[in-house]
Amino acid sequence: MNYISLIEELKKRGSIPGLDAIQGLLEELGHPEDDLKIVHIAGTNGKGSVFAYLSSILMAAGFKVGRYISPTISCYEERFQINGTYIAKDKLERLYGVVEEAMRKEEAKIGLRPTLFEVETALSFLYFKEEKVDYALVEVGMGGRLDATNVIKHPELTVISSISYDHKAILGDTLEEIACQKAGIIKESAPVVLSENPEEVCKVVKHEAAEKKVHCIEVKPQDYEILAETPYGSTFLWKEQRYETKLRETTRFLTL
């Protein structure tokens, strides 16, 4: 079966929260995610913008950066990027073949069949491992705690961007319930960066960080002051330290 046909077949399964199916799939693939340095982000708004900035910063520093995103804007291959270049179709087809074989073995062994997003997530890990990226930037699909990307055991960093009401039927009716799902990506091994958010959201995220005994870096308006912004970069104070950067729109970056 070619990968386009497989995608259409898997679309019919829709979205099924939970980690059992993708855990089984990754077991068959040899857990490629365990060999990656991953930055994991959850949030309602700002995920793509934060990672666009972070990807640019890391690439400018000479790192090879993988990026797994959803949804896409231009084409399907956009989901899987390395240094801003989309995966080649022939490589995508080959990797889909590898993942499909693992998927069939998993189904025969434990009777579980992954969803499209779970297959895409596994494929992204496999792709980034093969290409030996220095960092993989991975966006949560929906929520966090039960999202397929939450198989990541030891991220380098987790990020919680702006949280508001979304997917209420699945994530909950209140901001606290939604924040609890998003904060589920926090792991014992990595600090978490928390964007400016409503107080009820911050309370939930900071509680989760305390439970996991990790440092929570909370971005607050009073922590920074923009001194100058030009088309060529920005100068700002961050916790009384002065920084100069070629990054433009620093105000937008700090408040995402």
Average pLDDT, the chain: 90
Per-residue pLDDT tens for 23-54?
999 999 999 999 999 999 999 988 888 988 89
Is pTM beyond 0.85? Reply is yes
User: Is the pLDDT reported for residue 92 higher than 80?
Assistant: yes
More confident residue, 242 or 150: 150
pLDDT in tens, 102-147: 999 998 888 888 999 999 999 999 999 999 999 999 999 988 999 9
Q: What domains, with CATH codes, occur in the chain?
A: 3-219 (3.40.1190.10), 222-255 (no CATH)
Contacts of 242 (CB under 8 A, 6+ apart): 227, 235, 236
Beta bridge partners of 237: 225, 242
3-class DSSP assignment, residue 15: coil
Residue 118 is predicted with a pLDDT of 96
Q: Is the dihedral of CA 21, 139, 220, 190 positive or negative?
A: positive
The pLDDT of residue 253 is 55
Three-state SS for 112? coil
pLDDT higher than 60, residue 255: no
**Cα distance between residue 56 and residue 102, in whole Å:** 34
pLDDT digit string, tens, across residues 192-232: 999 989 999 999 999 999 999 999 999 877 677 888 888 77
